[in-house]
Structure 1
Amino acid sequence: MMTDNLRAAVFMMTGSSAFAVNDTFLKLLGDNLGMFQIITMRGVVVSLIFALLLWMQRAKISALVPKDRWLLAMRSGAEMGAAFFFFNALFHMPLAAVTAILQVVPLTVAAAAYLFLKEPLGWRRLSAILIGMGGVMLIVRPGTDSFTMASVHALLCVLMVTLRDLTTRVMAKGVPSSMVALTTAIGVTLMGAVGSVTEHWVVPAALSWAWLGGTVVFTVLGYYLVILAMRTGELTFVAPFRYASLLAALVLGWFVLSEWPAPLTFAGSAIVVATGVYTLYREGRARRRALAAKAALPRAPGEC
């Protein structure tokens, strides 16, 4: 019989791999459609799906406190920037390289939480973050011919995703996940619609329609399974399995896109994953110690 943690691990690996499949479809679409057209067409359908989920939950944005409404707006803005930079990087870099760079996000979120949210950060985790950043430098290799504007876009995407996750971290836990997903999807769709006026729209061929459908299905599937994983198992056990997306990107890049990363990209990816797993482990250990210390405190008279 599977435990909750094992079920959550399966959900996380499947959801993370679904995002890699989605990225593969997007990369294939980039040869036939404009970037903003893809963002707009996919965004409309994804927004409708999340709107239906929100309607079924009977949740309303007007019921939120002003702080959470501002945080939703800020998160949507960060996601818009992340989408713009991600698409630009994805269309001009190997899939596995872009995916590997994005694996540094847990490290950047930990550093940002220390700087802006005053969360504790010991020297071990700080060292892991610095080493992980060194792994990213191996992937993008500044000063060489492999360092292009697409590399800059990938790094800027990391900054935007970090801001997005940091905003999510301080949002009230009572805000429905479907509401967060809907406001984000609407923001990205509006950004795509505005940008699409600079492109020449084309009628997608039958194969492009199939790929567009694939991006919608695997985007929604990825979101749903990752959220389900986080709510089923322990965060510190489940989170490392998100790195399954890198393995999926390597396989898909090789078999579908005929891409194979350079040896230094492999080395940098291994460093980023190793330091990310270690950081998550230390974070979980610190959280367990804090909970144990809180439980050991004497209770006030009459407190349950």
Structure 2
Amino acid sequence: MTPLSDNTKGALLMIASMAAFTFGDACVKGLGGVLPLSQILTLRGIVASLFIAGLAIALGHVRFDFPRSDWRLIALRSLAELGAAITFFYALFNMKLANVTALLQMLPLTVTLGSALFFREPVGWRRWLAIGIGFCGMLLIVRPGSEGFNAFTLSALGTVVCVTVRDLVTRRMSRAVPSLLVTLCASLTVVVFAATWSLWQDWQPLESRSALLLGGASLFIIGGYTFSVLVMRVGEVGFVAPFRFTGLVWALLLGWLFFAEWPETLTLVGAVTIVATGFFTLWRETRAKRRQAKT
């Protein structure tokens, strides 16, 4: 049997990572209306934080020999992660799983836009065109002025903003900062906030169904983090990164199977538009980086 190439391994790991995160989101969505969000975030976050801490220690990522200026960036990134968690799950409880996931496919476009606006990174006319078309796809999903455009839709868009800020801040950190330490700080920030928030809410007993879903959400997020760490070690980024979009396929499938959800035709057209332009943007960025490396 011919061994798999590094690119194939990376693609499979990326698909597995997206599947794990999406399955975890589906488990959390199933808990909507059963457990308070603060309780969900606290319990899931404790499990995730313990796992990330163990992984960081095992890989030697718990170290602090990096510039102090990076701590401000880590703090800002952690706050952005907190904002993303709250807005995402608020939207997830009240929107179709695929709709929320489709909007998150905007990230390659919004990160490129943010890099151009705030960091003056060069962006050619093709990528500007892709960003414009991608935002048109986003409008097809949210459809301002329609009944579907509400606080939940705005919350999903808030998630896109928060994750964009998170990723832009990450780009400004020095390479001396261990990636898993950054992830651990963000996870602990969410846990501390959620645990504090939960003091003003009534915790609900874990019945068999809710315990199973919460356990599934915790296991799937561990799987997602594990696969995402492994994927960084194999394959070319330009080849592997586009497989992030498989998360939308999983969201469509899970939404249909478990929640009897299926997006409207315009939403699907918008999602395909976003994925296509995001894929193109990633491809153009990879080509630009290769040209810079050769010069």
Instruction: Please state which band the TM-score falls in when normalised by the shorter chain.
Output: over 0.9
Segment of structure 1 superposing worse, 212-221 or 95-104: 212-221
Report the identity percentage.
44
- Distance in 1 (CA, whole Å) between partners of 2:213 and 2:63 is 32
> Does 2:99 match 1:80?
no
Aligned to 1:229: 231
1:140-159 to 2 correspondence within 5 Å? 140-159=142-161
Could you tell me which amino acid in structure 1 is paired with residue 266 of structure 2?
L
Query: What SS does the corresponding residue of 1:232 show, helix, strand or coil?
Result: coil
Contact 2:65–2:176 at 8 Å: present in 1 too? no
Aligned to 2:191: 189
How far apart are residue 59 of structure 1 and its match? 4.1
- Distance in 2 (CA, whole Å) between partners of 1:67 and 1:218 is 34
- Distance in 1 (CA, whole Å) between partners of 2:32 and 2:224 is 21
> Does 2:279 match 1:277?
yes
Could you tell me which amino acid in structure 2 is paired with residue 56 of structure 1?
A
Aligned to 1:302: none
| Distance change in 2, residues 1:280/1:58 (3 Å) | closer
Segment of structure 1 superposing worse, 61-70 or 127-136: 61-70
Give the 4+ runs in structure 1 shifted more than 6 A: none
How far apart are residue 175 of structure 1 and its match? 2.2
- Distance in 2 (CA, whole Å) between partners of 1:107 and 1:93 is 22
- Distance in 2 (CA, whole Å) between partners of 1:120 and 1:230 is 25
1:63-78 to 2 correspondence within 5 Å? 63-78=65-80
Cα offsets for 1:209-240 (capped at 9, x unmatched): 11111111111211221232233111111111
Say which of 262, 268, 290 aligns to 1:288. Answer: 290
Contact 2:106–2:274 at 8 Å: present in 1 too? yes
Cα offsets for 1:132-188 (capped at 9, x unmatched): 011011001110001010000000110000000111112222322221221011011
1:239-258 to 2 correspondence within 5 Å? 239-258=241-260
Say which of 192, 216, 240 aligns to 1:238. Answer: 240
- Distance in 2 (CA, whole Å) between partners of 1:144 and 1:264 is 12
Could you tell me which amino acid in structure 1 is paired with residue 34 of structure 2?
N
Query: What SS does the corresponding residue of 1:91 show, helix, strand or coil?
Result: helix
Q: CA RMSD in A?
A: 1.2
Aligned to 1:131: 133
Structure 2 regions of 5+ residues with no counterpart?
none
Say which of 167, 170, 181 aligns to 2:169. Answer: 167
- Distance in 1 (CA, whole Å) between partners of 2:16 and 2:206 is 29
- Distance in 1 (CA, whole Å) between partners of 2:273 and 2:85 is 25
Aligned to 2:42: 40
- Distance in 1 (CA, whole Å) between partners of 2:231 and 2:56 is 20
Aligned to 2:19: 17
- Distance in 2 (CA, whole Å) between partners of 1:142 and 1:32 is 30
Greater gyration radius: 1
| Distance change in 2, residues 1:197/1:180 (3 Å) | same
Contact 2:62–2:178 at 8 Å: present in 1 too? no
- Distance in 2 (CA, whole Å) between partners of 1:228 and 1:60 is 18
Aligned to 1:297: none
- Distance in 2 (CA, whole Å) between partners of 1:214 and 1:141 is 33
Number of aligned pairs? 293
Could you tell me which amino acid in structure 1 is paired with residue 133 of structure 2?
I
Contact 1:230–1:238 at 8 Å: present in 2 too? no
- Distance in 1 (CA, whole Å) between partners of 2:56 and 2:211 is 26
Aligned to 1:98: 100
How far apart are residue 46 of structure 1 and its match? 1.1
Aligned to 1:31: 33
Contact 2:141–2:266 at 8 Å: present in 1 too? yes
How far apart are residue 58 of structure 1 and its match? 4.5
TM-score relative to the length of structure 2: 0.96
| Distance change in 2, residues 1:58/1:279 (3 Å) | closer
TM-score relative to the length of structure 1: 0.93
Could you tell me which amino acid in structure 2 is paired with residue 168 of structure 1?
T
How far apart are residue 195 of structure 1 and its match? 2.1
Contact 1:82–1:161 at 8 Å: present in 2 too? yes
